[in-house]
DNA sequence: CAATTTCGTGCACGTCGTGCATCTATGCAC
DNA sequence: GTGCATAGATGCACGACGTGCACGAAATTG
């Protein structure tokens, strides 16, 4: 399976659909990076992807959804990677290793939509869509967590709570890393891994802290 | 201060603005509950609030933002309540008590926008806006957390991580509670408090769990 | 009361998003 | 290969959305 978690083999019809979807997604992201999300019209995206404007809505329901589609695929890929980890690993171990697996997939991927997203993250109209894309994976992630723990825990608050907090942790960690990235090339993935390890360690150790003495 | 965290005294101009904003917010929520978010036009909201359509955009930039404004105010109120807790309380203690404080404010508030939100939460166009409204408070919350812990911790990943995970926990807990609420009246707040306590306890104890043995 | 600022409003314009009808390419059965 | 059934692509029309601009009314200031 690809980094997007989508199968590559299928009938001609399915392959054409995938190609069209990818063309739209890439065109939207490219134009958004070049001109700013707010300054891109669906007309131009459709032109760039060589489809009719009307056809755009057969694939995405808004400009923002198309721009963010790449990241949404990464989120799905992460859940798949988590699922693929050995059953013996603890939840946070599998989380850590799953993230690293996806990162490895991405660095070996020619198409670099991460550095593209860097330059437009924080655009007001994208923030809600990115958050929604992340939240859309919470249920699937929670189910994957439930499969990994014992029956009692699986039925409790824990799976959803852990899914939500883990995704929030990844979001915060990524955000900090991107913030501290100089505008030039993306800095070392090593620092990102270190940050993720720290975040996960905090989750594992518990999040309470004493108040100030005075 | 009110539950929205806004001052009540000011010049006539400010008071009129607040009143208009509240009128729009309430009209939007009322119509959204009655007819469904997707079936309400800005025209009708403006009519219900007795303002010109053009004026709507002086206060909100979209229908969804207006509908969600009440909840966004609650989020702000929570951060304020957290800040107001005694400095000696630990982070998660203050979190717990702050939430309860806000709940107390809300039950003593005549205007019940919680049960209104119950009936329209999950509307596809609202989800991103609700998440964004919550995320918008993360920075303020993180700063409040940083003020409560020692200097070393304040400068670390911890404040933002804790803010994000705590808000995610509240979101999940509220969501579960609303899901299990029968369509009739909102069920006891006691069960909500218990759920919140459980969620916070998990955060405090650490979120790792062993994998399945086989 | 006069000057100034802020806010409400109408108008025009471009963009967004959808329902509907039609046309074309694909897949399938034979 | 031929013809049929279906899914996808496209054009069209329409209503809703969101913003810039200019003007007038109300509030504030002094």
**CA B125 – CA B12 distance, rounded (Å):** 35
SS (H, E, C) A183-213: CCCCCCHHHHHHHHHHHHHHHHHCCCCCCCC
Identify the DSSP state of B18: H
Using a CB-CB distance cutoff of 8 angstroms, which residues of chain A are in contact with residue B205? 206
Q: What is the C-alpha radius of gyration for chain B, rounded to an integer number of angstroms?
A: 19
* Cβ atoms within 10 Å, residue A43: 10
* Residue of A62, A164, A170 for testing the chain B interface, max B β-carbons within 10 Å: A164
Residue ranges with strand state E in chain A = none
Taking only the tens place, the pLDDT of each residue in B116-144 is 888 898 899 999 999 999 999 999 999 99
Q: What is the pLDDT of residue A128?
A: 96
pLDDT surpasses 50 at A183: yes
Q: What is the pLDDT of residue B25?
A: 97
A2 pLDDT band, cuts 50/70/90, is very low
**CA B90 – CA A165 distance, rounded (Å):** 20
Taking only the tens place, the pLDDT of each residue in A109-132 is 878 788 888 889 889 999 999 999
- Chains A and B form CB pairs within 8 A to the count of 159
**CA A184 – CA A115 distance, rounded (Å):** 10
A13 touches strand C (CB under 7 A): yes
Instruction: Collect all residues with Cβ–Cβ distance below 8 Å to A68 and sequence separation of at least 6.
Output: A126, A129, A130, A133
- Domains along the sequence of chain A with CATH: 62-205 (1.10.357.10)
Gap from A204 CA to chain B (nearest CA, Å): 5
Instruction: Collect all residues with Cβ–Cβ distance below 8 Å to B56 and sequence separation of at least 6.
Output: B24, B42, B45, B46, B49, B66
């Amino acid at each position: 399976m690809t980094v997007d978690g989508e199968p590559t083999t299928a009938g001609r019809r399915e392959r054409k659909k995938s190609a069209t979807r990818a063309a739209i997604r890439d065109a939207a992201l490219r134009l958004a990076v070049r001109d700013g999300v707010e300054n891109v019209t669906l007309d131009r995206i459709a032109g760039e992807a060589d489809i009719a404007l009307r056809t755009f809505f057969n694939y995405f329901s808004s400009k923002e959804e198309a721009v963010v589609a790449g990241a949404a695929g990464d989120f799905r890929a992460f859940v798949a990677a988590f699922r693929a980890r050995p059953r013996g690993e603890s939840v946070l171990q599998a989380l850590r290793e799953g993230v690293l697996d996806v990162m490895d997939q991405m660095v070996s991927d020619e198409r670099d939509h991460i550095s593209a997203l860097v330059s437009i993250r924080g655009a007001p109209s994208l923030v809600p869509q990115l958050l929604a894309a992340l939240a859309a994976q919470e249920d699937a992630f929670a189910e994957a967590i439930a499969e990994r723990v014992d029956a009692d825990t699986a039925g409790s608050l824990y799976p959803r709570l852990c899914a939500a907090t883990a995704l929030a942790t990844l979001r915060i960690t990524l955000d900090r890393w991107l913030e501290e990235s100089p505008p030039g090339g993306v800095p070392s993935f090593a620092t990102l891994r270190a940050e993720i390890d720290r975040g996960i360690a905090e989750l594992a150790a518990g999040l309470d802290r004493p108040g100030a003495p005075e």
